[in-house]
A and B are shown apart, each in its own frame.
Chain A
Amino acid sequence: MYTPLRLFITTALVAATCFFTLPASAQESGHDDHNKVAESVNKAEHEIEHNLEKSEEKFNIGQMIMHHIADSHEWEFSHGVAIPLPVILYSADRGIEVFSSSNFHNDHHEYNGYHLVHGDSEKIVPVDEARVIYDFSITKNVASMMLSAIILVLIFTSIGKAYQNNKGKAPKGFQSAMEIVILFIRDDVVKPNVGPNYEKYLPYLLTLFFFILVNNILGLLPGAANVTGNIAVTMTLAVITFIIVHINANKHYYLHLVKPTGVPAPLLLIMIPVEIVGVFMKPFSLMVRLFANMTAGHIILLSLFGLIFIFQSMFIAPVISLFALFLNFIEIMVAFIQAFIFTLLSSMYIGSAIEDNHHADHGH
């Protein structure tokens, strides 16, 4: 999105320098014009370069933020320090292709007939535009997600073992620390919202909470991926919740969609579309809430750090660092809150779909 602006500024600068320097060189062409022309051209070039550098610096703030938020085919910890990740492509004609993303490190970002495009986010496009490819690469987000999955499995299987080994004993150490969270989710989030049949949904909701929490917190680490701030991830989670709700929903839930009780017949024309839109709004709001909260947090933090590079001042850096520290604490809080909210709302959607509605029927 910045390329047109960049082109415009560059051409404008070139035009301006030519416009101002040409008459001057024309006036003094009588003396040693060859020298003068060369000098002024050099000067103009230097100025253009300087302006380009300056403008590039400014563009880099926006690009830097987008680059950090978006997914990538390699895991970059700092400038130049990056782990290449496997690229997995599927196309009808070539089948599955697997190669390292470091192969794109050349002048044209091109390898084996594929081109790595750096826009707001990276994209692999075939050089031959007629081909259709599907990109199943292990990107930075996928790698980070797998890392958090491994962390989750290690932590909770060890806690599960602790429960089997310490049967009849008081919990201790990390087990009791996690127990507080698990009990909180079970007793204060799932049980009151899902209702008496909560145990069937408890494993999913607990996993949901800890998966979001771990990814949120990992995302706050410097150089980490922004997994839960990616709309594909939140969409998948929301869709899974949506599917669970609608597989388990009872008759009352579906009846309520097409025939809300106590609504006059003419109003049904409005009510039924509203109810049906509501069904899809719920997962949509789940998806957008988590995505927007996590992305916004990252953008704020990155903008603050970007300010340091814009001002390039010794004195602004400590102030901004303090402020960023403060915001980091808020982001840690947000990481917990968003995991909690996602789980809470999922529980509520499940609970509202499976509850026995007979009291509501008489209530109208």
Chain B
Amino acid sequence: MSLLTPNPGLIFWMLVVFLMVVFILAKFAWKPIIKGLKDRENEIQGALDLAERTKAEMIKLKSDNEKLIAEANAVRDRILRDAKEASDRMIAESKDRAAVEGQKMIDSARDTIRNEQHAAIAKMRKEVATLSLEIAEQVLHRELKDKESQEKLIADLASSARMN
């Protein structure tokens, strides 16, 4: 059947046309197309790689930051704790010192009071002795006049002495 017998002329033209198409397309179409596709793929791959790298860097930075923050927090806590300790210590110390000072002051006040007291008592004794002497002198002065006035005088003197 003629349908199944290849025609030599057609084979010839087919070879010529097809090989020319292959040649022209390979040179002017497939080369730039395949190159363009490959370039774009490389670009995309590069961009993806860069993103991946950036992500890793970000994660690293983030962990660094966290570390820094943790360190800073630790330092702050330590400083706070130290300060608190120092202040506590200072307060305790000053309290102690104040207590000691106060005690000292109280003691010295007590000593002063006691000394004053002693001085006052001594002075009073001296006054009383002087007074008694004056009274005795006055009594002795008036002893001659009468007995009644003597007694009155003694009472006056006594009351005035009590009033002092």
Contact = CB atoms under 8 A, between A and B. Distances in A.
A231 B5 CA distance: 7
Contacts of A240: 15, 18-19
B37 interface: yes
A192 interface: no
A231 B6 contact: yes
Nearest to A240: B18
A96 interface: no
B25 A183 contact: no
A152 interface: yes
Interface residues of B, number: 37
Contacts of B1: 120
Interface residues of A, number: 52
Interface string A137-173: 1110110011001001100110111011001100000
B50 to A, nearest CB: 15
Interface string A155-197: 0110111011001100000000001001100100000000000
Given A160-B33, A232-B11, A232-B14, A203 B25 contact: yes
Interface string A294-323: 010000000000000000000000000000
A223 interface: no
B123 to A, nearest CB: 116
A71 interface: yes
Contacts of A163: 32-33, 35-37
Interface stretch (A4-12, A18-26, A204-212, A341-349): A204-212
Chain B binding surface, main DSSP class: helix
A135 B25 contact: no
B144 interface: no
B10 A179 contact: no
Contacts of B29: 153, 156-157, 159-160
B34 A164 contact: no
A156 B24 CA distance: 10
Contacts of B3: 66, 69-70, 120-121, 231, 295
B57 to A, nearest CB: 25
Interface in B5-33: 5-15, 17-22, 24-26, 28-33
Chain A binding surface, main DSSP class: helix
B21 A70 contact: no
B127 interface: no
B147 to A, nearest CB: 147
B43 A160 contact: no
Nearest to B13: A142
A161 to B, nearest CB: 7
A354 interface: no
8 contacts: A123-B2, A136-B12, A139-B7, A153-B29, A160-B28, A160-B30, A163-B32, A230-B6
Given A135-B9, A231-B4, 19 more contacts: A70-B3, A71-B10, A121-B2, A134-B9, A142-B9, A145-B14, A153-B28, A156-B28, A157-B24, A157-B28, A160-B28, A160-B31, A167-B36, A203-B26, A206-B25, A207-B25, A232-B11, A232-B14, A236-B14
4 shortest A-B CB distances, which residue pairs? A163-B36, A156-B29, A203-B26, A232-B6
Interface of B: 1-15, 17-22, 24-26, 28-37, 39-40, 43
Interface of A: 66, 69-71, 88, 119-121, 123, 134-139, 141-142, 145-146, 149, 152-153, 156-157, 159-161, 163-164, 167-168, 179, 182-183, 186, 199, 202-204, 206-207, 210-211, 230-233, 235-237, 240, 295
